[in-house]
Amino acid sequence: MPRVLCTRGEIRLLTLVAPAKVNLYLAVGQRRPDGYHDLTTVFQALELADVVRVDPDDSFSVTYEPDLGIPRGEDLVSLVSMALAQRLGRELQGAFTVYKRIPAAGGLGGGSSDAAATIVALCAMWGVPAETPEVVDVARAVGADVAFFLVGGTALYTGRGDTLVRRLPDPGLDVVVINPGEPVPTAAAYAAFDRLLLPPAPPVEPLLGALASTGTNIGGLLFDNLTEASTGMVPSVGGALAFLRSEPGVLGAEMAGSGSTVFALCPTPEVASSIAEKARDRGWWSAVTRTSPSGARIVRTEEGDAWLG
């Protein structure tokens, strides 16, 4: 988890990256008394990312480019800012501008990653380590996968998807992501999942072993037991996934979270680029990216300082 204490002078302007994620493995279990489901998942951060810029000298505000149409104060950046300020007893300040590159409501975790980047920025402004237990508690309370984006990389999580079991090696693979343009409501996907009679999920251990062994076929071990529920609700997601699985060179393909984005692991950026172009020809949003070992982090200040996470 990155330490984000200011190294010199006052912070005047921060630029952060907020990475997308996919789930290399997602096994949804029983509904819990708190309304969530037990999860076992392997998160994988991507180089595809939103950009968050913060001017600490301005009064608190949050702007999205483009605007997402979320009522003021109800977006995750606003919610996590207010929650963290209250928990740490700090005065909330700073103009946050979120430049969206990750499709909203697509299973790539963009909103949660933006929230994690906000936590990193506020911790830098206040001189608080981001791994402080109070900070992590706020992250987990705001969103189940926000805590992952503070860690990033490749990691096994359980609980609601908010309990880190261990970090894993970054597979270092090229990735193509496709969104067919029809959203999958997360709550509805989980409700549909609860109505299905599905076989037990395969164990996660083969994937963990593959990640630890260079050259093992990780793509053949991708798994997401929400896929049937989501594709049943939004058939275009199933169509996009079938397209990926039929493309030559693809190492493996699966849905991202509850959808509607799907992704494929590719052996080279050329294979990923070719698939992305074919997807755009079909009218789908697509992007070529790569797995990333990092989470939400500051990449520069106004003075050009480097911030390593």
Q: pLDDT digits over 136-148, tens only?
A: 999 999 988 999 9
pLDDT band at 1 (very low <50, low <70, confident <90, very high): very low
Cβ burial 196-225 (10 Å sphere, 16+ → b, else e): eeeeeeeebeebbebbeeeeeebbebbbbb
Are 144 and 275 in the same domain?
no
Q: List, for residues 10-41, the tens digit of each pLDDT value.
A: 667 899 999 999 999 999 988 888 777 889 99
Q: List, for residues 146-178, the tens digit of each pLDDT value.
A: 999 999 999 999 998 889 999 999 999 999 999
Among candidate residues 296, 3, 309, 300, the one with its CA nearest the CA of residue 128 = 3
Are 25 and 122 in the same domain?
yes
Active site includes 21? yes
With respect to residue 307, please indicate whether it lies within any of the assigned structural domains.
no
Count of domains in the chain?
2
pTM above 0.95, yes or no: no
Are 35 and 156 in the same domain?
yes
Which residue intervals of 196-308 are DSSP H helices?
205-212, 227-233, 235-246, 269-281
In this structure, are residues 111 and 20 in contact, taking their beta carbons and an 8 Å threshold?
no
Alpha carbon distances (Å) from 74 to 55, 79, 284: 21, 6, 29
CATH code for the domain of 57: 3.30.230.10
For 43, the enclosing helix (H) or strand (E) is: strand 37-55
Active site includes 100? no
Beta bridge partners of 21: 45
Q: List, for residues 35-67, the tens digit of each pLDDT value.
A: 778 899 999 999 999 999 999 989 999 999 999
Q: List, for residues 182-238, the tens digit of each pLDDT value.
A: 998 888 888 888 888 888 899 999 999 999 986 568 999 999 999 999 999 999 999
Out of 75, 114, 145, 224, pick the active-site residue: 145
Are 151 and 103 in the same domain?
yes
Q: 50: domain range?
A: 14-169+293-301
Are 141 and 275 in the same domain?
no
